Structure 1
Amino acid sequence: MQINHVSVDEMWNDLTVSDRVKQGNYNLTNINFTKMLNESLSVGVFIDNVFDELADLYINNEDGYGVNTHILHTVNRPTTVGVKFTWNYSK
Structure 2
Amino acid sequence: MMDGMTAGMGIWMLLVVLTVVAVLVLATLGSVWFYRRLRGRQPDGATVTGRDDEDPARRKLRERFAAGEIDEQEYESRLSALTHWR
Scaled by the length of structure 2, the TM-score of the pair is 0.17
The structure having more radius of gyration, on CA atoms, is: 2
**Structure with the larger strand share:** 1
With CA pairs under 8 Å and 6+ residues apart, which has the higher RCO, 1 or 2?
1
